[in-house]
A and B are shown apart, each in its own frame.
Chain A
Amino acid sequence: MSSVVTTELRRQTGVVVEQVVRRFGDRVVLDDLDLSIADEELVILLGPSGCGKSTLLRLLAGLDRPDGGRVEVPARRAIVFQADRLLPWQRVLRNVTLGLHGPDADQRARDVLAEVGLSGREKAWPKELSGGEAQRVSLARALVSEPELVLLDEPFAALDAITRLRMHDLVRALRSKHHAAMLLVTHDVDEAIALADRVVVMGNGRIGSSHEVSLSAADRESSVAREELRARLLEDLGLAGQH
């Protein structure tokens, strides 16, 4: 495992992944994968289970190193995991300020908690939160450091359908306030259409296809264009005709 980390001046885009290879033993999970994400772009990474989505995300987060190729990401980045991963022994506020320093840390955390609709819950213990609330705290924890890149690893997969829709609204609202590039990993086609600027479909260790989504909010709910996009995405996933 080569572990060369260099800090470079930014090029024009948020994320640049060039011909990245990642192997686990004999299994090649990422095979010459290329991907770039522009500043403030929200890219949805779609793919079936076990296709290497999370592996790619861990490479971008710096939690893992590639076996070949090159990964360039902003130094200021945050990650939202599938499970909330809150520290059970810290109250909500201290969970959000985990990586923050400075005298205004608490105030900044309060502000972000208010943005995710949790003002007044600063003193709660994680065990007192519902699944949706806990995931909103972990979203606040990611956003509080004003990152240039936010990586979300199936963040809403464990939530119920209604809470998930609320979280989509929340993500849209937060995007207008926080100017960060986002990569959201999911296997939910409807979630992809609801949120994405661009949907990329992964298969065989590479980015198979890429779809720009420039629909209005209403058209994302229901429109002919939406259904066409949905059909194309399902086709790319190899599920055509089954839905």
Chain B
Amino acid sequence: MPVSIRQLTGRIGAVVEGVDLTAPPDPSTVTREHGCDDHPRPLDRVTVAGEERERQVFLPRYARRRTPLSILRERLRWPLGIYTTPVVILVAWEVLARAGVVSKTYAPAPTSIVKSAVDLWQQGVLGPDLAISLQRAGLGLAIGLTVGIVAGVLGGLLRSGEYLFNGVVQVLNTIPLLAVLPLMIVWFGIDELTKVLLISFGAGVPMYLNLFAAIRGVDQRLIEMARTTGAGTWRLVTRVLVPAALPGFLVGLRFSLAYSVLGLVAAETVNADQGLGFLITQGQTYLQTNQVFVGLVIYSLLGLLADQFVRALERVLLRWRPSYEAS
């Protein structure tokens, strides 16, 4: 057998043997047929005759020339990481607005939006509005997450909990958040209660659904294993079920935070005399497009903050997970 393998490798030419992996690429080994192709073609074009056998050559990733520029780029990551697209859009927007392509009443330049925000803050309008909105969102989130988590845990762990909650929440899930608003106004009036409850409704339902699915989806083999080690129910819950359900919980948290902002926007269009929604409605009434944008920007910043918060949680809580890191 060894003889025939020798013959084979001899014929198509073994390359790996002679390659010094630390040395810069030798052009003579790389520029074989399609060797330099950034997207190596599938290897199934090997023919019996041995003439069209494609070869792939792997070299150290940074064997190419390391210029100061490439080192700098490596440091900074490709240009700005996840902020690349937003920054590009902002710059383009600013340029278009300054050039007068988009009218000021349609889309004022980002810098002028920032200026409006500063003005509003200095007039003492923005601060209290933001505070009252955050208070509503916080209260609604607290109620929604508490109910969602308690129901989700009970529903996930206990069969009776599933029977108790699952049907109701599945039905509630099909009702659009915004469609509940009129009913809530009829039931709870046009004061704070409606706003807070709408937000908590938006936050609670996705939390329950994700947590329930996460707990039910825990690998049965791990539960079986834990039982055979003599771990009791408490150990099973705290060391197996809770950590295993954590990724699903974080997905639920992401949705909850997003929907709570949605609920906030919807709730604040009703009878608000304070809050970000009021600021936007007022801006609309007096054609202060700047002011509308200030409200929108703050909403989006809240969304961004929420996302970064969950990402940070994931980095800490899911360290154990061998996850895909895109190259």
Residues in chain B near residue A85, CB distance under 8 A: 221-222, 225
**A63 in the interface, Cβ–Cβ < 8 Å?**
yes
| B221-274 with Cβ < 8 A to chain A | 221-222, 224-231, 235, 239-240, 243-244, 246
Q: How far is the CA of A61 from the CA of B222 in the complex (A)?
A: 15
Residues in chain B near residue A89, CB distance under 8 A: 243-244, 246, 318, 320-321
**B322 in the interface, Cβ–Cβ < 8 Å?**
yes
| A62-84 with Cβ < 8 A to chain B | 62-63, 77-79, 81, 83
Given A89-B246, A94-B239, verify A99-B320 contact (CB < 8 Å): no
Q: Could you say which interface size class chain B belongs to?
A: 20 to 34
Given A81-B221, A81-B225, A87-B222, verify A127-B322 contact (CB < 8 Å): yes
| Chain A contact surface mostly | loop
Choice from A99, A126, A127 contacting B230 with Cβ under 8 Å: A99
**B319 in the interface, Cβ–Cβ < 8 Å?**
yes
Contact A98 B244 (CB under 8 A): no
Q: How far is the CA of A89 from the CA of B227 in the complex (A)?
A: 17
Q: How far is the CA of A32 from the CA of B226 in the complex (A)?
A: 30
Contact B239 A145 (CB under 8 A): no
Contact A61 B228 (CB under 8 A): yes
**A141 in the interface, Cβ–Cβ < 8 Å?**
yes
Choice from B221, B231, B246, B320 contacting A125 with Cβ under 8 Å: B320
| A89-120 with Cβ < 8 A to chain B | 89-90, 94, 98-99
Q: How far is the CA of A141 from the CA of B226 in the complex (A)?
A: 10
Q: How far is the CA of A126 from the CA of B229 in the complex (A)?
A: 18
Closest residue on chain A to residue B230 by CB atoms: A99
**A238 in the interface, Cβ–Cβ < 8 Å?**
no
**A88 in the interface, Cβ–Cβ < 8 Å?**
yes
Contact A98 B231 (CB under 8 A): yes
B196 → chain A closest CB, angstroms:
35
Q: Which of B230, B318, B319 has the most CB of A within 10 A?
A: B230
Q: How far is the CA of A108 from the CA of B246 in the complex (A)?
A: 29
B21 → chain A closest CB, angstroms:
23
Residues in chain B near residue A63, CB distance under 8 A: 224, 227-228
Residues in chain B near residue A99, CB distance under 8 A: 226, 229-231, 235
Residues in chain A near residue B225, CB distance under 8 A: 79, 81, 85
Given A61-B228, A83-B221, A99-B231, verify A88-B240 contact (CB < 8 Å): no
> What does the 1/0 interface line of A31-65 toward B look like (CB < 8 Å)?
00000000000000000000000000000011100
Given A99-B235, A127-B320, verify A79-B243 contact (CB < 8 Å): no
Closest residue on chain A to residue B221 by CB atoms: A85
Closest residue on chain A to residue B246 by CB atoms: A89
Given A85-B222, A87-B222, A89-B246, verify A98-B321 contact (CB < 8 Å): no
| B203-231 with Cβ < 8 A to chain A | 221-222, 224-231
Q: Which of B221, B226, B246, B320 has the most CB of A within 10 A?
A: B320
Contact B221 A145 (CB under 8 A): no
A168 → chain B closest CB, angstroms:
23
Given A125-B319, A126-B320, A127-B320, verify A87-B243 contact (CB < 8 Å): yes
A residues within 8 Å of B by Cβ?
Answer: 61-63, 77-79, 81, 83, 85, 87-90, 94, 98-99, 125-127, 141-142, 145
Which 9 pairs, one residue from A and one from B, show the smallest C-beta to C-beta distance?
Answer: A99-B229, A99-B230, A89-B243, A127-B322, A85-B225, A89-B320, A99-B231, A79-B228, A98-B229
| Sample (7) of A-B pairs whose CB atoms are under 8 Å apart | A85-B225, A89-B320, A98-B239, A99-B226, A99-B231, A142-B229, A145-B229
Known: A81-B225, A85-B225, A87-B243; 19 extra A-B contacts, CB below 8 A, are A61-B228, A62-B228, A63-B228, A79-B228, A85-B221, A87-B239, A88-B320, A89-B318, A89-B320, A89-B321, A98-B229, A98-B231, A98-B235, A99-B226, A99-B229, A99-B235, A125-B319, A126-B320, A127-B321
